[in-house]
Structure 1
Amino acid sequence: MDLPFAKLDQLVARHAEIEAALAHGAEGDEYVRLGREFSDLSPLVEQVQALKTALRDLEDARELLADSESDPEMRALAGAEVARLEEQIGHEAHAVRLALLPKDAMDDRGVILEVRAGTGGDEAALFAGDLYRMYVRYAAEHGWSVEVLSESEGTMGGYKEIIAAVKGRGAYARLKFESGVHRVQRVPETESGGRIHTSAATVAVLPEAEAVDFEINESELRIDVFRAQGAGGQHVNKTESAVRITHLPTGTVVAVQDDRSQHRNRARAMDLLRARLLDEERSRAEAGRAAERKGQVGSGDRSERIRTYNFPQGRVSDHRINLTLYKLEEVMAGTALDEIIDALLTEHQAALLAAQDNG
């Protein structure tokens, strides 16, 4: 069994040390920092303890099996127990290896979700709306909240673009695999001849950025206010509540107009700007590690076609892992999307384990 037991023992000892510190007076920021470290280590420590218990039980069963003075029935039971424990230990050791994998520091965060219509005109906007609703339902399944930051509706419905904050622990860990081009094949409602059309929408998933991630200098921002664009006669059109922020060093522009309050729109625009700048920073770092990432599930590149939704056949295909499910309705309802994400996560972990073994 190729496991770094000395390192595992150190991590278990560190977990116990943090537990003692939390119980005896850590306060304020130190308490928060230690609590986060304790929470991160706990799943690994539980797996290590389960593995060590199984190893002790295996040693006892083997001793009983090797004891020539034991009666045949006891030795037969010990033999069966040895076989069971050897299989269990294989699973426990794999779980420990997974728990040792480097964790993306952003995994526990919420996300900024951006869905945009791609090629296909009105049908692409309708599909973008379908995708957005799929993610809203998926968020509800996981107990996450969704708040729209910005939206631009299509002429026939759906969205040319919609940007929302999905808030909930672990949202980024699961939704990060959704970045890329999503393609749909179906007969549009506007198509009288019954011909199947292909259109697309682009999804971007950015980890929610915190003010402590990096400092934004107010002097490097240009902030414009304007009247929100909406249906005639709406209150939002009568006041300059919409906010556009330009980050001058990078040229990054964000605009939020969905709230009647200029103050709230500005706060949301700053959240969106932070997420975009953090994403750009992470993308540069990822580009520098491109060779290291070779073979992992997708690149997160938004120009990469990742999935096809075929409505006539009721089929969803993820092209990164050659997975096809005939559960299109359940996927669009958000209830079966986890089957795809779990498979992507498993493949991602396998790639990380392979890279670790080859490293």
Structure 2
Amino acid sequence: MTKKNQELWIQISSGQGPEECALAVRKVFDNLSKAVVNSGLSLEILDSTSGRKPRTYESLLLNLSGIKADEFIRPWLGTIQWICESPYRPGYKRKNWFVSVRILPAVSVDLVEVNAEDIQWKAVKASGPGGQHVNTTDSAVQALHRPTGIQVTASEARSQHSNKKRAVEKIKAILSAQMQGARDEHVQKQWLLHKELERGNPVKIFVGKEFRER
């Protein structure tokens, strides 16, 4: 029996928390990236909202694809707790920082229109992080959606035509996720309203600056 390839949109969010939570978002992503290595899965950033400090994110929209992607991400879904002294505020009493990881509901990309004349193309050479298998020839493409500034790279296929098609799908996915985010705002508000309850039941706990899992 052929196993079905899955494609999931994963959101990691600081829930409007302080800079330390935005750093925790990046650390969670770094750990997911390491865990993906040799798993046969592919993980890439589709969209991001940068934090106020360098190399931090208020939120990340990820594409996780491959066989049994849902099984891989399941242990991460929920609230992640990081116990650590603030790296930004010496002597600060608070030591607990929280982020959320969730699967975004699928939104049909067919509902989003992207005009070909709005896309600026560029041939690039790409290589994947963590030993992921990607095409490294000039058939890889970079697409800039001029109206929104969304920029994506597609390098999965060996033909430039297929990679261009994939790039358009990624742009549509980001636009769809943004649409979903607007419609799903009440879910985020609900998470914020009940953050104390959820923070009392983290699915994973990490400790220290080295972000070691407890």
TM-score, normalised to structure 1, is: 0.37
Check whether the contact 1:181–1:200 (CA below 8 A) recurs between aligned residues.
yes
Which of 185, 199, 207 lines up with 1:311 in the alignment?
Answer: 207
Letter of the 2:31 counterpart: M
RMSD: 4.4
Cross-structure match for 1:146 = 43
Check whether the contact 2:20–2:86 (CA below 8 A) recurs between aligned residues.
yes
Letter of the 2:8 counterpart: V
Cross-structure match for 1:63 = none
Q: Could you tell me which runs of 5 or more consecutive residues in structure 2 were left unpaired when the two chains were aligned.
A: 121-142, 155-162, 185-189
Letter of the 2:212 counterpart: E
Check whether the contact 2:24–2:99 (CA below 8 A) recurs between aligned residues.
yes
Cα distance change, pair 264–222 in 1 and its aligned pair in 2 (3 A) = closer
Q: Shift of the alpha carbon at 1:155?
A: 2.0
Q: Which has more helix, going by share of residues? A: 1
Aligned equivalents of 1:147, 1:195: Cα separation in 2 = 35
Check whether the contact 1:110–1:207 (CA below 8 A) recurs between aligned residues.
no
Check whether the contact 2:47–2:174 (CA below 8 A) recurs between aligned residues.
no
Letter of the 1:136 counterpart: S
Q: Please list, as runs of the form range in 1=range in 2, the aligned pairs for 1:222-241 lying within 5 A after superposition.
A: 241=144
| Percent of aligned pairs with the same amino acid | 14
Check whether the contact 1:244–1:269 (CA below 8 A) recurs between aligned residues.
no
Q: How many equivalent pairs are there?
A: 167
Check whether the contact 2:15–2:100 (CA below 8 A) recurs between aligned residues.
yes
User: Does 2:171 correspond to 1:269?
Assistant: yes
Aligned equivalents of 1:243, 1:182: Cα separation in 2 = 36
Aligned equivalents of 2:86, 2:119: Cα separation in 1 = 36
Cross-structure match for 2:68 = 170
Q: CA offsets per residue over residues 36-56 of structure 1, 9 Å max, x none?
A: xx347xxxxxxxxxxxxxxxx
Greater Rg over alpha carbons, structure: 1
Cα distance change, pair 256–161 in 1 and its aligned pair in 2 (3 A) = farther
TM-score, normalised to structure 2, is: 0.57
Q: CA offsets per residue over residues 307-339 of structure 1, 9 Å max, x none?
A: 152525x9xxxxxxxxxxxxx6257xxxxxxxx
Which of 129, 139, 142 lines up with 2:26 in the alignment?
Answer: 129
Letter of the 1:256 counterpart: I
Aligned equivalents of 1:177, 1:191: Cα separation in 2 = 31
Cα distance change, pair 161–137 in 1 and its aligned pair in 2 (3 A) = same
Q: Could you tell me which runs of 5 or more consecutive residues in structure 1 were left unpaired when the two chains were aligned.
A: 1-37, 41-106, 228-239, 246-254, 284-301, 315-327, 332-359
Q: What SS does the aligned partner of 2:10 have?
A: strand
Q: Shift of the alpha carbon at 1:215?
A: 7.8
Cross-structure match for 2:138 = none
Which of 181, 184, 188 lines up with 2:86 in the alignment?
Answer: 188
Q: Shift of the alpha carbon at 1:185?
A: 2.5
Q: Please list, as runs of the form range in 1=range in 2, the aligned pairs for 1:30-109 lying within 5 A after superposition.
A: 38-39=1-2, 109=6
Q: Shift of the alpha carbon at 1:132?
A: 0.9
Cross-structure match for 1:201 = 99
